[in-house]
Amino acid sequence: MRVVLAEDLYLLRDGLSRMLTAHGFDVVAAVETGPELLAALLELRPDVAVVDVRLPPTQTDEGLQAALAARREVPGLPVLVLSQHVEQLYARELLADGTGGVGYLLKDRVFNAEQFVDAVRRVAGGGMAMDPDVIAKLLARSGRDAPIARLTPREREVLELMAEGRSNSAIGQRLYLSESAVGKHTASIFGKLDLAPSDDDNRRVLAVLAYLNGAAGG
């Protein structure tokens, strides 16, 4: 699996490259600025991009904007962004095009290699990997008119864990529910969010997008 990595701190960039390589990824480019990132993404068309939000030359949201620009040119290009802090605006921009293959992790999660690599693989496969702290911050802003207002407290719990990229089995273990019970909750979620029958993986992504976009817009 081919990866383009963007991180301006050399030690972290080198460490991430080594970690990804050790887990079977092919790091085809490791860059440190926004313009270099955009050029690498458009030229190399990787399976996934792992991007620090803040990159030179502006050190604001250069990395995120370069990744979003690449996604406009290559629709669906999987992007996992890393950030030191939860920024609601960044999360909303990342989710705005309504497609999967996106993730937002706090840099603290990088120190858990298994969790980080799993997130990279999920995003590369077209899924989502949203940091629990990002989800919590977005939920704090959700309003009564948001689509998620239709969901029961248990359904919200299930959907929060779906947003983290967990399978029905993993959700069941976390909430002490059977896998079939989780399946019933997810079916109810799809119905309340007016998601027509389709591939289940696709509907999971659409449900999470509706959920997080509703929360972010509240």
* Whether 25 contacts 120, CB under 8 Å: yes
Residue 111's pLDDT band (boundaries 50, 70, 90)? Answer: confident
Residue 200's pLDDT band (boundaries 50, 70, 90)? Answer: low
What superfamily would CATH give domain 2-131? Response regulator (3.40.50.2300)
pLDDT in tens, 2-59: 999 999 999 999 999 999 999 999 999 999 999 999 999 999 999 999 999 999 998 9
Most confident of 68-82, 85-99, 157-171, 189-203: 68-82
Please state, in angstroms and rounded to a whole number, the distance separating the CA atoms of residues 121 and 57: 29
Is the model's pLDDT at 190 over the cut of 80?
A: yes
pLDDT in tens, 174-186: 999 999 999 999 9
What is the residue type of 152?
T
* Whether 89 contacts 64, CB under 8 Å: no
Q: Where are the chain's structural domains?
A: 2-131, 141-216
Residue 214's pLDDT band (boundaries 50, 70, 90)? Answer: low
* Whether 206 contacts 195, CB under 8 Å: yes
For residue 218, what are the CA distances in angstroms to 88, 138, 140?
12, 9, 9
Considering the entire predicted model, what is its pTM? Answer: 0.78
Look up tokens 């896998």; give the residue.
179
Of 152, 166, 159, the C-alpha closest to 212 is 159
Class of domain 141-216: mainly alpha
The neighbouring-strand residues paired with 79 are 49, 102
pLDDT at residue 142 in the model: 55
Please state, in angstroms and rounded to a whole number, the distance separating the CA atoms of residues 58 and 66: 12
pLDDT at residue 129 in the model: 86
Report CA torsion sign: 114, 28, 41, 46: negative
Report CA torsion sign: 36, 37, 42, 45: positive
* Sequence-distant (≥ 6) Cβ neighbours of residue 110 within 8 angstroms: 12, 16, 82, 116
* Whether 163 contacts 125, CB under 8 Å: no
More confident residue, 139 or 23: 23
pLDDT in tens, 52-87: 999 999 898 999 999 999 999 998 899 999 998 877
